Structure 1
């Protein structure tokens, strides 16, 4: 989602007033309820696929372990209420910034992916960023959104999501896969930008065997992927990339 705003553009000695498309960032008020107990947080996000965002967020935070634990979801404007079937704790701040991801989340060592036997060709991974950006409509309009996508091992896109927060885009992808009943254990998670701890943790919780990023990983992301069996690939640009963990899953003709 984008909006047009008036801007003054400077080019050498010329100043012009024009309209420009910018990415929308608005707060989503999410309330989680069980019986008489409720907890509300605010997530700064791009207002698309809020249901999928909520489901993916609750799943990657360990609040729910499967979609069946969610009994009901109501959306009204910028507010979403989710009823779940069991007691819960929220070890989070009240406001989740679009850049913060799961900073401070205590679940670092609580998730372990299955040791997937999936193999992926290196040239498939090198082509994913271009495939994803061609499907990022709002990014092409604004240049201001992160992207995340789920691809099969042949590089075919299953779905692409966009958001001002890279972790929100990932939660949307995971939420959509959960709601569709699709198992990520044979899929690739491709993300724009860097691969930080929060992205690696979400990939691990969901069960992705491969995490591919356009930019650099962080040390904590490398450690997370090593521990949880994920092949972490970074600096995927043009005809080059770096494989940081579990290289046995990446097939190369070199």
Structure 2
């Protein structure tokens, strides 16, 4: 490749973010095909099923991953009621979170009402969690092309996963949580970019009460968050943020 700098083209090497097809099968049934980064695919499969279909005991499932040149297959087996699950015929791209819906009521109907109760968080603790997440974004530092999603737990512990797709990164972090047998529930979902409806829906199904993003929240994300009793914290940086949703018993301005 070439770089353009100081009015000259310079030949150089660079690293690109990995992107390829991932076919997810559950109990032999093809569920969906995703465009995603090919790292941490067990977590992607587990998180996608948890966030989109049903929760389960990870000790009761088996997951195998087969890699091809530009494609991968994630095959899950376990106590799943796949006959009643909706499959997707089209590829879910890295920017698509609602490709299977064609009407707003159908989209909002997939969200749950969050009832999780945790100790009240002060805004500085969430802002500090973003710094911890940033220090764990190795893929972004190497390529500049990966999104990150993190979970903030009690005691300020942060877990982070990356993917070329925002919603895939969320699936991966949910999958990592499920597979870790973590005893504490996550307090906050952290996003390195913007927050759309699809991510609010995933958080609601996983009973996460707060979503914090460095970027903006969309209008549909705000609508879904209000319907799901989720607090959205957007544009969180430099001691400032825009907050949509309940503050009481969730977050406070200072220690």
TM-score bracket relative to the smaller structure: 0.7 to 0.9
Q: Which one of 13, 21, 32 corresponds to residue 15 of structure 2?
A: 21
3-state secondary structure, aligned to 1:23: coil
Superposition deviation, residue 181 in structure 1: 2.7
Residues 16/135 of structure 1: CA separation in 2 closer, same or farther (3 Å cut): same
Superposition deviation, residue 76 in structure 1: 1.8
Structure 1, unmatched stretches of 5+, are 1-6
For 2:10 and 2:30, the matched residues in 1 are separated by 48
Structure 2, unmatched stretches of 5+, are none
1:41 corresponds to: 32
Q: Are residues 1:66 and 2:60 paired?
A: no
For 2:96 and 2:199, the matched residues in 1 are separated by 11
Higher strand residue share: 1
Superposition deviation, residue 69 in structure 1: 9.4
Q: How many residues were matched structurally? A: 243
1:145 corresponds to: 146
3-state secondary structure, aligned to 2:13: strand
Q: Decide which moves more: 116-125 or 212-221.
A: 116-125
Q: Decide which moves more: 232-241 or 182-191.
A: 182-191
Extract structure 1 runs of 4+ deviating beyond 4 A: 183-186
Q: Decide which moves more: 97-106 or 119-128.
A: 97-106
Superposition deviation, residue 127 in structure 1: 2.2
The answer (yes or no) to whether the contact 1:184–1:206 under 8 Å persists in 2 is no
The answer (yes or no) to whether the contact 1:234–1:243 under 8 Å persists in 2 is yes
The answer (yes or no) to whether the contact 2:98–2:107 under 8 Å persists in 1 is no
Tell me the TM-score normalized by structure 1.
Answer: 0.87
2:219 corresponds to: 219
3-state secondary structure, aligned to 2:195: coil
For 1:137 and 1:18, the matched residues in 2 are separated by 21
Q: Decide which moves more: 117-126 or 13-22.
A: 117-126
1:125 corresponds to: 126
Tell me the TM-score normalized by structure 2.
Answer: 0.87
2:89 corresponds to: 93
The answer (yes or no) to whether the contact 2:30–2:87 under 8 Å persists in 1 is no
The answer (yes or no) to whether the contact 2:58–2:179 under 8 Å persists in 1 is no
2:197 corresponds to: 197
The answer (yes or no) to whether the contact 1:124–1:154 under 8 Å persists in 2 is no
Q: Decide which moves more: 241-250 or 147-156.
A: 147-156
Residues 68/156 of structure 1: CA separation in 2 closer, same or farther (3 Å cut): closer
Which string of whole-angstrom CA distances, capped at 9 and with x for unpartnered residues, describes residues 2-29 of structure 1?
A: xxxxx11112332110001111111112
Superposition deviation, residue 120 in structure 1: 0.6
Residues 69/180 of structure 1: CA separation in 2 closer, same or farther (3 Å cut): closer
